Structure 1
Amino acid sequence: MTASSTRRTTAVHSRLAAVGAIAVAGALLLTGCGDQTNDSGSDSTDTPSASAAPLADKLPKEIRDAGVIKVGSDIAYAPVEFKDSSGKTVGIDPDLAAAMGKQLGVTFEFENGTFDTLITGLRSDRYDIAMSAMTDTKDRQEGVDSDTGKKVGEGVDFVDYFTAGVSIYTKKGDDQGIKSWSDLCGKKIVVQRGTVSEDLAKAESKKCTGGKTIAIEAFDNDQQAQTRLRAGGADAGSSDFPVAAYAVKTSGGGNDFQLVGEQVEAAPYGIAVAKNDTQLRDALKAALDAIIANGEYDKIITKWGVADGAVKEATINGGK
């Protein structure tokens, strides 16, 4: 989930070719994901064999001995992470974590939390990492509140593993002339709290003229925002492209929503790690580079229909 409108905005053509593959995954794993953010349960990736893990010695000893990496995640953001019909955590991030776990000889245990509290949970040692479609931004790296510009913490490091832009979607057949962010003046948009969609809406509202503004309704998770739009409580919604595309192809059998306009704010997703956990950070980077090199990464990204967001190598703190 992207956050911080302070970085440079880059327009990206909507990659609708990826949506078809997302639909295939959706048909297999469609759950009608409701509000799962308050679910306090956790899910683990398959336990790997430590003896077969080539990168186990790169981990901090306490994590290697425990055999578990605790992951903070907002597990209501299909197809990046969500619950399937059996209640298991599935998606792009859990699949990548499982592949990395084989390299490191540990289990990645996903714990559910609201998105805007994940970094706080990381700071308080509730989680070892946060992996939740979180955009790597300078503000997050430096611990700066993007709304106020004030420093609120020591910041985090990111291991970047994917690139995504932000999209607008409307009810199907009812785009009300919305083709870009500037068309939202005088209209209402629903978003997830703490994301770049919310930041963009706030920034665009300030540019509106003629006494018009953009009415913004923010929710704890994206599923709640989709429900509001589906019920006619708003004119448009916005979220990261993979999530918006998945909603368009799966909600109501593909009859609820449509994408409008182009993606903007293309930026990297990163795994957040505490600033003082450099050994863990570097181990994660090594594991990502290993699964990119052996082809597992490409298989996972392609499976979920988002191959255009793939990266060639893991990077640290690549966000602007």
Structure 2
Amino acid sequence: MHRQSSLRTRLVRGLGAATAAVALASGLTACGGDAEASGPASDVVTVGGVSNGAAQQTELTVPVVESLRGKLPASVRERGELVIGVGALPAGFPPLAYLGTDQQTLTGAEPDLGRLVAATLGLKPVLKNSTWENLFVGIDSGKVDVAFSNVTVTEERKKKYEFASYRKDNLGFEVLKDNAWNFGGDFRNLAGRTVAVAKGTNQEKILLEWQTKARAEGKDFDIKYFPDSNSTALALSGRKIDINFAPNPSIAYHITQTAGSGTPTRNAGSYSGAGESLQGLIAAAAKKDSGLAEPVAAAIDHLVENGQYGKLLAAWNLPDEAVTASEVNPPGLPLTNS
């Protein structure tokens, strides 16, 4: 993904659940760019709090790991705070980052992981919410230590930032729950289906390439476009399309929203947002040579090993995006695709 790989689509930014996003927009705008101090450093982190049903609320006890705390830059360790940047203004992008039902707390898988990392390192998490553009301004200026905001690793970004990966950057295939179709890793399985995709996005580019290949083999599938995600959801529930091809987190969120409806949906497979040659990765981003990527990666590895990382992703319905370990500055989208 070029900007944000979840509800922010790759070539244009879009929201995966427009209704929820619009409902939350005024609250997030009211929150502005002010810092949200999460209170004194604690070994108990509430995952999925005030999530409006998008997550299973879970309390995790997170002891400080002194050996990892010792890896922090002295300035951050002595300050005792980890300033976490999130680019969720103006409207948020559930389930990754948005204003909770109390209209005060920034919730989502991204800020929750930031809180878990801060707790592991014995730091007080201080969340700063901004626009996507100002997120990077904050890192550049030193006002933000590290971003947990669905940032895809790219070779272009590695010129200015250092990364600690924590989630796969995937696209997903959403179908009605009673539809037995599965992607199975082969575009040929789309033959004979009708697939919705957002225009001008990375997933559209991939889908059009598959359609060309399928037609060369004497197969085909239909591509449909809709003005927004609500229209796409209605087309899927009304069986006017078979599949919605979109960023995986937006699909995960929509699945939670349809679970109690008459037309529940499910995930029928995933595909790397970077294409077939590279598994795209989402990572915590810090200023290059800040010395933060390594301790953050070590903290993520600790959370993976003790199972709390898995509980976080399960709570937010994102287990299929799990990584087995955090990589420092992994291969990113190439310069020609950044």
TM-score > 0.5, shorter chain as reference: yes
Partner SS, residue 79 of structure 1:
coil
Change (3 A) 1:271 1:217: farther
Unaligned runs of 5+ in 1: 6-30, 142-153, 219-224
Does 2:250 match 1:243? Answer: yes
- The answer as to whether partners of 1:201 and 1:216 remain within 8 angstroms in 2 is no
Change (3 A) 1:311 1:207: closer
- The 2-side partners of 1:260 and 1:288 are apart by 26
Name which of 160, 164, 167 aligns with 1:159.
Answer: 164
Deviations 1:90-111 (A, max 9, x none): 2222232222222212122222
**Aligned pairs (5 A) from 1:64-213:** 64-75=77-88, 76-87=92-103, 88-115=105-132, 117-141=134-158, 154-169=159-174, 189-190=197-198, 198-202=201-205, 204=207
Name which of 226, 231, 238 aligns with 2:229.
Answer: 226
Partner SS, residue 166 of structure 1:
strand
Partner residue, 2:301: 289
- The answer as to whether partners of 2:147 and 2:285 remain within 8 angstroms in 1 is yes
- The 2-side partners of 1:217 and 1:111 are apart by 34
RMSD: 4.3
Deviations 1:135-180 (A, max 9, x none): 2233332xxxxxxxxxxxx33221011224112558x79x9xxx87
Change (3 A) 1:125 1:168: farther
Q: Which has the higher contact order (CA 8 A, sep 6+)?
A: 1
Deviations 1:58-108 (A, max 9, x none): 222322233222222133222222222113222222232222222212122
Tell me which moved more, 252-261 or 56-65: 252-261
Task: Give TM-score scaled by structure 1 length.
Answer: 0.64
Shift of 1:284: 0.9
Deviations 1:29-75 (A, max 9, x none): xx944354644144344532699551333222322233222222133
Amino acid at match of 1:311: V
Partner residue, 2:48: none
Task: Give TM-score scaled by structure 2 length.
Answer: 0.61
- The answer as to whether partners of 1:226 and 1:237 remain within 8 angstroms in 2 is no
Partner SS, residue 305 of structure 1:
coil
Deviations 1:261-298 (A, max 9, x none): 64221522210111121x21122122212222333222
Partner SS, residue 134 of structure 1:
strand
- The 2-side partners of 1:47 and 1:317 are apart by 31
Name which of 270, 276, 293 aligns with 1:263.
Answer: 270
Partner SS, residue 298 of structure 2:
helix
Tell me which moved more, 263-272 or 249-258: 249-258
Partner residue, 1:310: 322
Change (3 A) 1:123 1:303: same
Does 2:2 match 1:3? Answer: yes
Partner residue, 2:70: 57
- The 2-side partners of 1:48 and 1:253 are apart by 37
Partner SS, residue 311 of structure 2:
helix
Identity of aligned residues (%): 20
Name which of 29, 40, 47 aligns with 2:40.
Answer: 47
